[in-house]
Amino acid sequence: MIFLKISYAVLLPTFAGFLFISYFYSFDDEQSFLERLSLGFGLGIGITSFAMFLLGILGIEFNLLGVSLIPFSLIILFAYLIYKDNMPLRQVLRLRQPALANSFKHLSKMEKLLSLFFISWLVLRLFFIIHQSFIWPVHAPDSMMNWSLGAKFFFYEKGLALEDSNEFFFGRGYRTFLSYPLHLPLMQVWFSLCVGEFNDVFVKLWNVVFFISILCLIYSALKREVSLFAAILATFFLSSVPLLSYHSITAYADLPLSYYTLVSTIILGRYMNIAIGEKRNARKLLFILGAYIGLGMWTKLEGVFLVIAFSGTIVIFLLLKKLALRSLFAFIVPIFVIAIPWHTFLFANNIASERGEGFLKSGLHFEVLPVMWDQIMYSANFNIIFFFFFSTLLLSVKIVLGSNIKYLVTTLFFIMGLFLVTYITSGNYLYTMNLMAVNRNILIFIPMMYYIVTLIAAKNLNPIEKYQNGLSKRLL
């Protein structure tokens, strides 16, 4: 019975997000069922948690039936729109050939053996992580204080507790920082409503789903752009990053934010491929991109870095390609839909950011630079991905500058730069000196980095391939 309840908690919002993507993303003939399903989970659970926040500020009680109406309403709406547009079921489900087995025929004997080994290892790894997820409760102090205690309070209060007379207003006393976004706590409330109790083990199972979704996304997206073997290899190395595995069995916000960062990067690449020739579909992609960026901002304070970085890259792209800046409207709308209610609520209730140590108040902290360098290159190198990324980039400067990959690299550098400036100019430098930065924040763009470096390496190793619009065409 508990398996059915957990499946309901995962699959209902996933199906809602799946139909959302199927409707707005129907023009992409290369998108697989696996990719669409992985996109659906993050979108569906994000919309559900944000709608729960809106219910909370309206004073509507949290209960399973009421909250379930949110994804059910989305399912009915998009099922109707899909039916109205006469979209074939096969197009919705993306059940297409050639399948993985057919793609294997193009591999050499050595590549087949290695691929089978990597896939077997991945399956065992996933079984291990899923097993651990059903054993470990919420155990990290930060995740308990920042997210889970507040979620437990909201669950038993059956709402956000916004009465002025309530001494625990909005979780005060349970939530360390009241200005922290609510995506994670409300996801835990949703899982608890489905299970029927606040279980310290089950409330964090969403993170293992994000972990699986990241692996499915990077495999599916890369398989569309590079060879099958390269996609499997990149997925294998990403899955073997110890910190990624650790975060998949905890209740931190960094893994979900890394999911939204990776999704946004993939969609940005697809947008640049069609921005000139398919303007209507390009606007749809910008709208979807804005939705994921907005949900990233709804996940963690650092999500605002995604807004700045991706907005900056899109503006640069539009200016260089001499495209109308008004197309940014499609990107901005979903971000504002999320940001305006949340920040209006914070302002109306006089909830300031408790993390506002202030820029330059304690001077500049350049001492973080050697510490960061040591962490990312030696002590916590994420399978030497930073070394491999910088080396590959230096060896492929001409190739990168001649393709749209340069915009993805620009976005990555924007995000890295924003973190670095924050550490140097504010009291947040302490989080770098005590290793929290490398153990938490850097994870946000690690999957993104794996995706980009694989694209660069594939182009570098296949210089005779013809590339369309800067990203590689499918090699198989």
The predicted structure's pLDDT at residue 358: 57
Its domain, for residue 178, covers 2-93+111-361
Nearest-5° angle of CA 131, CA 137, CA 141? Answer: 135
Does a structural domain hold residue 410? no
Amino acid at 291: A
Whole-angstrom Cα distance, residue 316 to residue 181? 29
The predicted structure's pLDDT at residue 453: 96
The span from the first CA to the last CA of the chain, in angstroms, equals 43
| The total number of structural domains that make up the chain | 1
The predicted structure's pLDDT at residue 170: 93
- Asked if residue 104 lies in contact with residue 115, where contact means CB atoms within 8 angstroms, the answer is yes
The predicted structure's pLDDT at residue 464: 44
Does a structural domain hold residue 26? yes
Nearest-5° angle of CA 302, CA 420, CA 294? Answer: 20
Backbone dihedral angles phi then psi of residue 169, each to the nearest 5 degrees: -50, 125
pTM of the shown model: 0.93
Does a structural domain hold residue 171? yes
The predicted structure's pLDDT at residue 476: 31
Does a structural domain hold residue 22? yes
Does a structural domain hold residue 377? no
Whole-angstrom Cα distance, residue 461 to residue 70? 47
Q: Which CA distances in Å does 267 have to 231, 264, 342?
A: 17, 5, 25
Instruction: Supply 182's token pair.
Output: 């609510």
DSSP for 376-434 reads IIIIT-TTTHHHHHHHHHHHTHHHHHTSTHHHHHHHHHHHHHHHHHHHHHSTTHHHHHT
From first to last of the 476 residues of the chain, give the pLDDT tens digit: 899 999 999 999 999 999 999 999 888 878 888 999 999 999 999 999 999 999 999 999 999 999 999 999 999 999 999 999 888 887 787 765 445 555 677 788 899 999 999 999 999 999 999 999 999 999 888 888 889 999 999 999 999 999 988 899 999 999 988 999 999 999 999 999 999 999 999 999 999 999 999 999 999 999 988 989 999 999 999 999 988 888 999 889 999 999 999 999 999 999 999 998 888 899 999 999 999 999 999 999 999 999 999 999 999 999 999 998 998 999 999 999 999 999 999 999 988 765 545 565 667 888 888 888 888 887 776 878 999 999 999 999 999 999 999 999 999 999 999 999 988 888 777 777 777 777 788 899 999 999 999 999 988 776 544 444 445 443 33
Whole-angstrom Cα distance, residue 306 to residue 260? 9
Does a structural domain hold residue 119? yes
Backbone dihedral angles phi then psi of residue 277, each to the nearest 5 degrees: -90, -25
Name, in order, each residue with C-beta under 8 angstroms of 301's C-beta and a sequence gap of 6 or more. 179, 180, 181, 353, 355
The predicted structure's pLDDT at residue 102: 52
Question: 471 forms bridges with which residues in the sheet?
Answer: 468
Among the listed residues 155, 246, 242, 161, the one whose alpha carbon sits nearest the alpha carbon of residue 200: 155
Does a structural domain hold residue 103? no
Among the listed residues 222, 219, 306, the one whose alpha carbon sits nearest the alpha carbon of residue 256: 306
The predicted structure's pLDDT at residue 471: 53
The label of the residue with tokens 């499915």 reads 216
Does a structural domain hold residue 186? yes
Amino acid at 127: F
